[in-house]
Structure 1
């Protein structure tokens, strides 16, 4: 089954500063009408019905929720969406956190995961992978994309925090460009996915803090959200 993956940028939307312009987050203080216009355009550009975009109320936890496209509102208090229904597009919103898009094309199962520092530390990616397994996915067949996120050169954190995350997500502690203690969540997640037996892992190398075509909370404070989206393409008759 064909898997589609898309990552948006901040260009081409209706939102005004400081959310200019393709902000897809409805929880960041942006005008609701502008966000709706952006989400409507997203569906149109993807060639999908608006009600086939599955959203979630991200809370930096480890809950994974299975959806089937019949939901009428965002999945509550979850940081991963999983589906085996073609045409249902799973959306994860980020502005420095790692969007993780996973798929087992053979089983026809996809997942979109919000893996920030807290969620990555507490195991949101393994939780999403387990939910995929329950729908028939096998780790060895899974393809994972780690989307744009703040890089280790830019993500400065206190030494104790880095040590704590490293304990739970080995490979994530690093040194920043300034020579201070930092975190490279994509590096830690890459290692975690490999240890879980995931067959293929790729990464979008863009840093949200460095690339001004992307939103970054660390860089700008009040700002919008880009999206990582994945879905199974419906087979044509």
Structure 2
């Protein structure tokens, strides 16, 4: 179910699912009832109790939604239209199938965690969705911020027209690359890492290539594929303590 999972701070968890968890997206022609069943199984595996992961309607932009609420996310039909989310403890999910899933954890002066996720495809990297998410975390009071970069298509595999490479590289130079076939490419994970470095954010983990790993969904491999997720959540104790501090 998880390609990678770890308790990254006391009571704070980050994970990336794999194809064994099934498709988690409602927009790819899958049976919505089955998608919701899989999401529920994922929440159970994460030990969320009554809480749910908040999902986004992702549109390849740079908007950041602040997710509030004690018990979890809005119903699927009310999901935020955005490509990044931050919260003071609400569990968050970002879906991808080649784009870069970025998970962020910030720490407030009280020690309480702030959570974030970002969906960084080619347009999102170019428009700075990841720096925008970091900025929103800091506006909420985050001091130190760390990042986990999930599996995504690598620069050796992501072939694009030369003009497109030049346009993105003009904004994010680290994304410029040549594929393993010697053709113009974009290294989106490298672009994201450069943006995080510029923001003073430490990258704690970077995943592999979705196209090369058949245990993951890849749109380049199959454009009728599902979506896997990057996730961040707190355990019940950490969430309860943060909720109590927020309402003091």
TM-score, normalised relative to structure 2:
0.85
Q: Return the alpha-carbon distance in structure 1 between the equivalents of residues 142 and 190 of structure 2.
A: 24
Instruction: Name the residue aligned to 2:223.
Output: 221
- 1:84 CA drift (Å): 1.1
Instruction: Name the residue aligned to 1:232.
Output: 234
* Structure 1 spans left out of the alignment, 5+ residues: 13-21
Instruction: Name the residue aligned to 1:17.
Output: none
Deviation per CA, 1:62-119, whole angstroms, max 9, x where unpaired? 000111235423433200110112xx21000000000000111345111011011001
- 1:50 CA drift (Å): 5.9
- 1:148 CA drift (Å): 0.3
Instruction: Name the residue aligned to 2:28.
Output: 28
Q: Return the alpha-carbon distance in structure 1 between the equivalents of residues 27 and 192 of structure 2.
A: 26
1:107 and 1:167, CA in 2 relative to 1: closer, same or farther beyond 3 A?
A: farther
Instruction: Name the residue aligned to 1:58.
Output: 58
Select between 76-85 and 201-210 the one with higher mean Cα deviation.
Answer: 201-210
Deviation per CA, 1:161-190, whole angstroms, max 9, x where unpaired? 011111111200101010000011110111
Q: Return the alpha-carbon distance in structure 1 between the equivalents of residues 230 and 53 of structure 2.
A: 12
- 1:206 CA drift (Å): 1.2
Instruction: Name the residue aligned to 1:15.
Output: none
- 1:44 CA drift (Å): 0.7
Q: How does 1:186-197 map to 2 (within 5 A)?
A: 186-197=189-200
Q: Return the alpha-carbon distance in structure 2 between the equivalents of residues 10 and 50 of structure 1.
A: 25
- What do you get for the CA RMSD once the two structures are aligned? 1.6
Q: Return the alpha-carbon distance in structure 2 between the equivalents of residues 208 and 177 of structure 1.
A: 15
1:11 is the counterpart of 2:8: no
Give the structure with the higher percent strand. Answer: 2
Q: Return the alpha-carbon distance in structure 2 between the equivalents of residues 4 and 205 of structure 1.
A: 16
In the alignment, is the contact (CA less than 8 A) between 2:48 and 2:235 conserved in 1? no
* Structure 2 spans left out of the alignment, 5+ residues: 1-9, 242-248
Q: How does 1:81-160 map to 2 (within 5 A)?
A: 81-85=85-89, 88-105=90-107, 106-138=111-143, 141-160=144-163
